[in-house]
Amino acid sequence: MAYKKWIIAQADKELASELSEKLNINPFISFLLIARGIDNELAMSKFLSNTVELSDPYLLKDMDRAVARIEDAIEYGEKITVFGDYDCDGVTSTALLVSFLSDMGADVDYYIPSRMSEGYGLNKPAIKQLAENGTQLIVTVDNGISAIEEAEYIYSLGMQLVVTDHHQLSEALPMAEAVVNPHRPDNDLEFHDLCGVGVAFKLACALYGDSEDMLWRYADLVALGTVADVVPLLDENRAIVKFGLRLINQNSRVAISALRRAAGIDDKTITSSEIAFQLSPRINAMGRVADAADAVRLLLSEDYNEIEALAQSLNDNNTLRQQLEMQILADARAQLAADASLAAGRVIVICGRDYHQGAIGIVASKLLEEYSKPVIVLSSDGEIARGSARSIDGFNIHEAIAACADILVQFGGHPKAAGLTVSADRVDEFRKMINSYAAEAYPVMPEPVIEIDAKLSPFYLSLELAKELSELEPYGECNKRAVFALSGLNITDVIPMGNGAHIRIECEKKGKKIRLVKFKTTADEFPFTIGDTIDAAVKIGVNPFNGREYLSVQAIDIRPHGLDDDNYFAEREALQLFNAGISSDKSVYPDYDDCTYIYKTIRFLGGKAVSLDDLYFKLDGITYGQLHYALSAFEEAGLLEINNEKITLCQTQGKVDLMNTNTMKILKGRLCIE
């Protein structure tokens, strides 16, 4: 396994103590907030407050024009169509605005485009259909800001347009009666990070004239969409989500209660985690494998039987989505196992036959987690391959794909996520091109990082501390669950869980017993054994079971105790620079004695497959580059196999002249070593 760089946050302990006294809060909570940049009394008080302070919706540019045009449409009986999107943010935006406009007496319906046949946002066939159906005003939610041509088409058919969106602006704004977007530079807002349903909520507040009443009516929908869209859970977003969670738990609308029952969490207290991992995936699943309009119907319906049926449909389609993902993920992993070159590049590009388009983005995200490098998953129908890309921090995947524009049919996206279409017969060419670009533009790839909130002694781990941390909820973007570093834990046992899919690690330090859970890691994959000393990055929480509460300690990263971050990552960087031809650092060269030592160590491990990084920490005095080239020479000589970053010994007969392999010859030639 490749190890991640731990970055430990810093905070002023004296200031933390001072603010904790002033605000009467736990000093540790104050310390964590200061480390996250919330470092004064006003900001900390506002962050922890349960009150909701909403900004004036008219601080959004064009809000007055949007209100005036919609009020005219209601007064004159014009047909309004709310044009939404197929993800959870778009679905909740659509449901909120349709519900509100219906209550206002508007003649309103909605349209959700198909992910599979139409793609994202306004499109001309849909616009034509709306015109034929008598729509006179289209109001977009969660889309429309870049629909320049489509807006002109709307007006050419005699309709008008109001845009509400939160995506980044293009060079020009679309033709419209109003364009409401928190990222417009001419807004008067202090907080700009609303999502689509947040903007729709602001429009409802402006139309109604009372934000507090709207909060009681719609904060639950805003909470669903805001958490799902991974916008910063700060300022207004945090306040509304906090309020919305109270509504969901105390007086939930019938549709959300039904969805909770279908998900099997009707007896749980709903937090942002339940929204992110239980509720919103079921809403998103409809847009991925079925019809997202049914998710809107669920949220709008007042018929109990229909609500129950639709909630079950969302649940069933989520199960289907999971099955499709598992099938695609298994096929992608098989490809990676069969062809080591696929995982060796800076950018992993996988292409499969008839992968479901609604699942490939999530598969790309899962592979990104496993390999800590950019991943593109393509689905081919034999002629065209369409795909989704996900990237690590510091690697702009949109720019990388754009560098291959000459051989692409189309592409678009953002620095960390993008989509593309390429001819199926040019996938291999695209893979080579994007990796060539990455090698040139990123001679040193960004290292995967884990942000640590604080170092913590295992003696301070307690159920009470886990409960205190609930002050930081709701968790989400820019307000992640706290991560703590535990140091010097001695492993006393490793126990499989969940039919072997996960493990429980029993540890001890100076008499203190600690139980860690590591999900999605099997006992065979775990590189440590009983007696090893480790450091662990963990999240803690409260685990209710049989009427009692227990401390839960989840390990998100484990590494050898005392790992020297600076040296480890410096050696990895030195190897990348050497491979890129930028340096001639002789520290990457393993001599005969080095190779002998490395090979004996591998044999000592009993033939158990290990990764390069795991092996590195079992060797003394060997650089990362020396190990890399020694393993390459061993593989060339047939002494071992390296498959999917795993090393396995081979059966050999006779002696091998390791120094006469091409690997060592080329290396010595580059370094002028005889």
State which H helix or E strand residue 219 sits in. Answer: helix 211-228
The pLDDT assigned to 608 comes to 63
The pLDDT assigned to 1 comes to 56
With beta carbons less than 8 A apart as the criterion, state whether 518 and 503 touch.
Answer: yes
The pLDDT assigned to 306 comes to 97
pTM, to two decimals: 0.89
Amino acid at 214: M
State which H helix or E strand residue 465 sits in. Answer: helix 463-468
Dihedral pair phi/psi, residue 65, rounded to 5° = -70, -40
Which residues lie across from 140 on neighbouring strands? Answer: 83, 163
Q: Which conformational region is residue 594 in: left (phi greater than 0), alpha (psi within -120 to 50 degrees), or beta?
A: alpha
CA 564, CA 616: separation in Å to the nearest integer?
12
The pLDDT assigned to 607 comes to 56
Which token pair is 42?
């006003």
Which residues lie across from 491 on neighbouring strands? Answer: 507
R_g of the chain computed on alpha carbons = 28
The pLDDT assigned to 23 comes to 93
Coil, strand or helix at 504:
strand
CA 310, CA 277: separation in Å to the nearest integer?
19
CA 248, CA 278: separation in Å to the nearest integer?
14
Grouped pLDDT means (10 residues each) for the chain, 674 residues: 85 94 93 93 93 94 98 98 96 98 98 90 96 98 94 98 92 95 94 96 97 95 96 95 96 94 93 96 95 97 96 96 95 90 91 93 93 94 93 94 94 87 96 95 91 94 93 93 96 95 96 94 89 96 87 94 89 91 91 94 76 86 95 91 80 83 93 86
CA 576, CA 592: separation in Å to the nearest integer?
23
Q: What is the DSSP letter of 637?
A: T
Cβ-proximal residues to 299 (8 Å cutoff; 6+ apart), any chain:
91, 92, 95, 99, 221, 253, 255, 256
Peptide bond into 474 cis (omega under 30): yes
Q: What angle do CA 299, 300, 303 make, to 5 degrees?
A: 100
Which token pair is 589?
């060269």
The pLDDT assigned to 269 comes to 92
The pLDDT assigned to 653 comes to 74
Length of the chain: 674
Which token pair is 650?
């081979």
Q: What angle do CA 364, 367, 373 make, to 5 degrees?
A: 95
Q: Is the dihedral of CA 276, 476, 480, 365 positive or negative?
A: positive
State which H helix or E strand residue 204 sits in. Answer: helix 196-208
Q: In what order do the strands lie in the sheet with 646-649?
A: 610-611, 646-649, 640-643
CA 28, CA 463: separation in Å to the nearest integer?
14
Q: What is the DSSP letter of 426?
A: G
Dihedral pair phi/psi, residue 449, rounded to 5° = -125, 145
Sequence-separated contacts (24+) of 436-443 with Cβ below 8 Å: 437/400, 437/403, 437/404, 438/345, 438/346, 438/347, 438/374, 438/395, 438/400, 439/346, 439/580, 441/399, 441/400, 441/403, 442/346, 442/395, 443/576, 443/577, 443/580, 443/582
The pLDDT assigned to 547 comes to 81
Dihedral pair phi/psi, residue 286, rounded to 5° = -65, -40
Amino acid at 645: E
CA 97, CA 66: separation in Å to the nearest integer?
13
CA 37, CA 15: separation in Å to the nearest integer?
12
